[in-house]
Amino acid sequence: MKSLWSNSEAKSFRGDLATRVYTSRLLGANPELVLHGGGNTSVKTTEKDFFGTPTEVLYVKGSGWDLGTIEAEGFAPVRMDALLKMAELDSLSDPVMVKQQRAAMLDPGAPNPSIEAILHAVIPHKYVDHTHANAVVALTNQKNGKKAVEEVYGDRVLVIPYVMPGFDLAKVVAKALAKHPNPKELEGLILMNHGIFTMHDDAKKSYELMIQLVSEAEEYIAEKLGKKYKAPKAKAKEDLLNLSLIRKKVSELKGSPVIAKIDQSAEAIGYSVRDNIDKLAIRGPLTPDHTIRTKRTPVVVGPKVEASLDKFATDYEKYFEKYNSGETMLSPDPRWAVWKGQGTIAFGATEKEAGVLHDISTHTWKTVGMAEDAFEGGWKALPAGKLFEIEYWELEQAKLAKGGSAPAHQGKVAIVTGSAAGIGFACAQSLAEQGAKVIGIDLNPDIEAEMAKIGAIGIVANLTDEKAVKKAVEWTVRTFGGLDILVSNAGIFTAGAYLDDLEQTNWDKSMAVNLTSHQKLLKYTIPFLKNGIDGSIVLVGSRNVNAPGAGAASYSCAKAGLTQLCRVAALELAPFGVRCNIIHPDAVFDTKLWTPENLKRSAERYGMTVEEYKTRNLLKTEIKSKDVGNMVAAMASPLFGKTTGAQVPVDGGNDRVI
């Protein structure tokens, strides 16, 4: 492991706290040390309180901050005298500890101090760094972990047996330091099954001690593995339908939709085909801290997908019943999976959360595999009871409980076609605003930039090209794990012509785009929608279906055919719980098709002003793209959960239709 320290960069960080920010970011920049909020750092210094009195304080990482991006505001200033007095108590409950730490803060507006604040305070060095370095965890999480630590570090570190983080751990460390003849000479602390602390009165030296000690663990493991060691690798035949089934089952166990992020790298597949994977994968997490995100174990998915997930849920319930002492059980869904022969999958309520779980689970299986191959007896995590304490620890659960209710479509995956502009864009925007992961498909190359504006993904594809449609749908499922919502909107306005003057190309083009392309899209999405969460299809028709006009045969007939396609789809998909409805918008003028000149010309044809023309419906209201988008989002939600095969006008009321 290499030091990232830069003398030139360090010069711009002046003062104790600023230097602490710099070295904290260096630690956070290395995923082999910390991931997503893990680890904590501190510095002891003197600050003036509100009254100007010099006060010894501990600046310790605040709860909710990430070392990789932390700012000075991310550190909580806590009075040292209060922390040291707390360390002298015989006992201290977690809620009281949190309350007293907050009461001892110099700045009441700062974040809550780390639960390890007292531990940082009892370590006599100015700078203290704590990480969950993969190599150190691998060193300790095995049968002869303590012996291996002593072989690597000798008496340069203190070895601390596993103790529940917080006050109890602080007490154990304080006693160990008190017994040491010269604790200031120590280079670090190795917390069995937990991680590593390094400390020094100089920020650079404390950071580089971390790099040095972790590097020594890496070298020791590499020697055990041998120079020619290569992690198992394998290939797999893609199975997207079962991927969507796994995601559906996990969502059902959780009680809400999840995004599924699959890793089918050769290494991930290699891990999944290990001979002992059924037992190895469920021995325990990388560190106890990870349990609050990953649970104690992943699910190992075999050929019988649903049976594997049902077993996980049953085993989780038994685990809870065995160790609980009054807690409320969390939902029995896995947070990640080892899919035998296919790789690994991470699950999250959002794409971001799935990414976090992917990172943590990836580091977990890589480290577990490394320790399994390096040490006699292989990987050995903490007992289930100890891990339960962390998983259901009220202080850790509080971190995850923050936030309000989820948006209506959070965790759902939606495809919206023809979404580079107009109604299609509005549909994509409404779904994205309500939490869905949206994939927009359009022939217009602007689709990529337009979707990026709303946090969605744009794919350039010709929807009349069957291969392109199949490719886009499969990419969506491969990337997010499944498909729940289809908004089939792509269409064109063909030139008006009476039947006896209608060119065949006009008719053929309208049928190809306004009807057949939707049929092709349904063909490739339906298998995945059947495995979707509250699967819903919304087709975008036209007022012309129920109130056609002369000279619009090619457009009106295609939209009428689309309506009939919707009705048939509703009949076919109802047994699978997938709904199919169609909306008929009219007079939506805030699109690129309607320039001011076009609007004015059309209004004059009817003897109206532009405003009169835009509101020529029974409700005398203007219909905007956003109105259509909101209706589509509602129809894809549980609000319309008992409606299928319906035709819904979005036109302000049309007397010809009514």
Strand partners, 648: 583
Task: Provide mean pLDDT across the span 228-235.
Answer: 87
Q: Are the folds of 240-401 and 413-494+501-588+623-650 the same?
A: no
Strands 195-200 and 188-191: antiparallel
User: Where is pLDDT greater, at 393 or 415?
Assistant: 415
Task: Provide mean pLDDT across the span 582-598.
Answer: 89
In the chain, what are the domain boundaries?
A: 7-225, 240-401, 413-494+501-588+623-650
| Residue 549 clears pLDDT 70, i.e. is over it | yes
Task: Provide mean pLDDT across the span 466-482.
Answer: 98
Radius of gyration of the chain (CA): 30
The tens digit of pLDDT for each residue in 260-274 reads 999 999 999 999 999
pLDDT at 602: 87
How far apart (Å, rounded) are the C-alpha atoms in residues 479 and 470? 14
pLDDT at 396: 62
Which fold is adopted by the domain 413-494+501-588+623-650? Rossmann fold (3.40.50)
The CATH number assigned to the domain with range 7-225 reads 3.40.225.10
| Residue 403 clears pLDDT 70, i.e. is over it | no
The active-site residue out of 498, 555, 606, 613 is 555
Torsion angle (degrees, nearest 10) of CA 252, 255, 258, 260? -40
The tens digit of pLDDT for each residue in 610-651 reads 999 999 999 999 999 999 999 999 999 999 999 999 999 999
Residue 162 is among the residues annotated as catalytic for this protein: no
| Residue 439 clears pLDDT 90, i.e. is over it | yes
**10 Å Cβ neighbour count for 26?**
24
pLDDT at 399: 57
- The pTM score is 0.93
Q: 622-653 b/e with 16+ CB inside 10 Å = b?
A: bbbbbbbbbbbbbbbbeebeeebbebbbbbbe
Domain 240-401 listed as CATH 3.40.225: yes
How far apart (Å, rounded) are the C-alpha atoms in residues 459 and 461? 6
The tens digit of pLDDT for each residue in 347-389 reads 999 999 999 999 999 999 999 999 999 999 999 999 999 999 9
Q: Out of 175-189, 271-285, 409-423, 585-599, which region has the weakest mean confidence (pLDDT)?
A: 585-599
